[in-house]
Amino acid sequence: MSKEKTKAVLNQSVADLSKAAALVHQVHWYLRGPGFMKLHPKMDELMDGLNSHLDVLSERLITIGGSPVSTLKEFDELSKIELETATWDKTTEERLTEVVKAYKYLSDLFQDGVHATDEEDDDVTNGLFADAKGDIEKTIWMLESELGVAPGL
Ligand SMILES: [Fe+2]
């Protein structure tokens, strides 16, 4: 079985996780204000998590016969996550809200992966998407708690 839908969601995930890591790196660098000492290292933790999912999903794609996108140009063209040139005028709340938005997009994407893998009988990739989605949702809860709102999943 060619698993074309599964491969497509995996490659989308490779592009989006790469761009999400760049977004979180931007927040890590451009934070300024109350909470910096706590949130600056927290963004390092989030990047580690994203890069871990990136490597796992990319290598699964190769394992099932696919070819992950791997250049900055491909990441940028394929990813649907927004990332603009940084400025110093955003509040910490605005920056964290951008991260939450990207994480909610990833959660929906991984749900697409769960559906595609169900349809194409790929239980292993299904488990990887479910695990990644669980981790992303937990992070959404934590970020939204920091922002003072309930997780809107
Ligand atoms: Fe750093």
CATH number of the domain enclosing 109: 1.20.1260.10
User: Rounded to two decimals, what is the model's pTM?
Assistant: 0.96
Q: Residue 127 falls within a domain, yes or no?
A: yes
> How far away, in angstroms, is 137 Cα from ligand 1 center?
24
> How far away, in angstroms, is 20 Cα from ligand 1 center?
16
Domain limits at 14? 4-147
Distance CA 64, CA 6 (A): 9
Q: Residue 152 falls within a domain, yes or no?
A: no
Q: What pLDDT score was predicted for residue 6? A: 98
> How far away, in angstroms, is 44 Cα from ligand 1 center?
7
> How far away, in angstroms, is 29 Cα from ligand 1 center?
7
pLDDT over threshold 80, residue 152: no
Distance CA 107, CA 95 (A): 19
> How far away, in angstroms, is 25 Cα from ligand 1 center?
8
Distance CA 139, CA 7 (A): 25
pLDDT over threshold 90, residue 70: yes
Q: Residue 89 falls within a domain, yes or no?
A: yes
pLDDT over threshold 70, residue 1: no
Distance CA 116, CA 122 (A): 8
How many CB atoms sit inside 10 A of residue 6's CB? 26
Q: Residue 153 falls within a domain, yes or no?
A: no
The pair of structure tokens assigned to 80 is 């649907």
Counted domains in the chain: 1
Q: Residue 35 falls within a domain, yes or no?
A: yes
Express each pLDDT in 121-132 by its tens digit. Answer: 999 999 999 999
> How far away, in angstroms, is 55 Cα from ligand 1 center?
20
Express each pLDDT in 74-117 by its tens digit. Answer: 999 999 999 999 999 999 999 999 999 999 999 999 999 999 99
What DSSP character marks residue 120? T
> How far away, in angstroms, is 41 Cα from ligand 1 center?
7
